[in-house]
Structure 1
Amino acid sequence: MTQTIDPTDLPTTVHAFLAAHTAREVDAAARTFTTDAVVTDQGETFRGSERVRHFLEHAGSEYTYTTELVRARRVDERHWVAEIHIDGDFPGGVADLDYAFTLDGDLISELTIG
């Protein structure tokens, strides 16, 4: 059952990823994923360490934007959702996205952004 939680109650790994990704610290963000992780963003899927790193290096790199963690949900002990508000110079200028995480221990095994 999905439960709304305080965003500060998201797992440490999720917070570490969000902070590193926002700061564009690719190495730190990459360390939060399993070696066989899968990331899906804008209909494109990135599988494995090399492709996830490619995603981290290039996602949104052509734009300037700010992010705000506005809400969070716990689906179960492995599945968490961070609702992120993005404001920037990309087409449309504003977006609200769900970052749906699947954790394998202390690492992210799957991330779907939509």
Structure 2
Amino acid sequence: MPDIPPAALPAPVRHYLDAHRAHDTTTALASFTPDATVTDDGTTHAGTADIAAWLARAYTAHTRTEILSGGHCDDETHCAVTLRLSGDIPGGEVDLAHSFTLRDGLIYTLTIAPA
């Protein structure tokens, strides 16, 4: 699947990525359904309270920069992006695949794994 420009990604994905980069928990959470799940590093976080706690930990765990290095959508509800993270993270740099499932115009599932 060819990459698409970031502006062509669905609005909830763009809003989440922008809010996450800005460490804006309130805006990031507004991108998710109330019953959403996020799976990161093998752990699943369910519901907005659990996702908010995950975001808070993610924002403070490391100092890093994120660069969107690719993105595509298989259909209207399934999109994936690759982010290159660099900074004081283990190994100094990592590419992470973010797979999104959308429902009712919001993120229903987000799975993050090494690309």
Take 1:49 and 1:62, find their aligned partners in 2: how far apart are those partners?
Answer: 20
CA drift of 1:105 comes to: 2.2
Name the SS of the counterpart of 1:73 in structure 2.
Answer: strand
Q: Aligned partners of 1:4 and 1:63: how far apart in 2?
A: 28
CA contact (8 A) 2:6 2:14 kept: no
- Counterpart of 2:76? 77
The CA RMSD measured in Å over matched residues stands at: 1.2
Structure 1: stretches of 5+ with no match in the other structure: none
DSSP 3-state at the match of 2:60: coil
Q: What pairs up with 1:1-114 in 2 under 5 angstroms?
A: 2-114=1-113
Instruction: Confirm or deny: 8 A CA contact 1:7 1:70 kept in the other structure.
Output: no
Give SS of 1:61's match.
helix
Deviation of 1:8 (Å): 2.3
Aligned residues: 113
> TM-score under structure 2 normalisation?
0.92
Return the offset for 1:90. Answer: 1.1
Query: What residue identity is the alignment partner of 1:43?
Result: G
Measured after TM superposition, the shift of residue 13 of structure 1 is 1.0
Deviations 1:3-48, CA, capped at 9 Å, x for gaps: 5322321111111100101111011101110000000000010011
Supply the distance in 2 between the matched residues of 1:51 and 1:108 (Cα, whole angstroms): 15
Q: Structure 1: which 4+ aligned runs deviate by more than 4 Å?
A: none
- Aligned partner of residue 76 in structure 1, secondary structure: coil
Structure 2 distance, partners of 1:37, 1:55, is 13
Q: Which runs of 5+ in 2 are unaligned?
A: none
Q: Secondary structure at the match of 2:101?
A: strand
What percent identity do the matched residue pairs reach?
38
Query: In structure 2, what is the Cα distance between the partners aligned to 1:6 and 1:21?
Result: 18
Kept in 1, the 8 Å contact 2:23–2:59? The answer is no
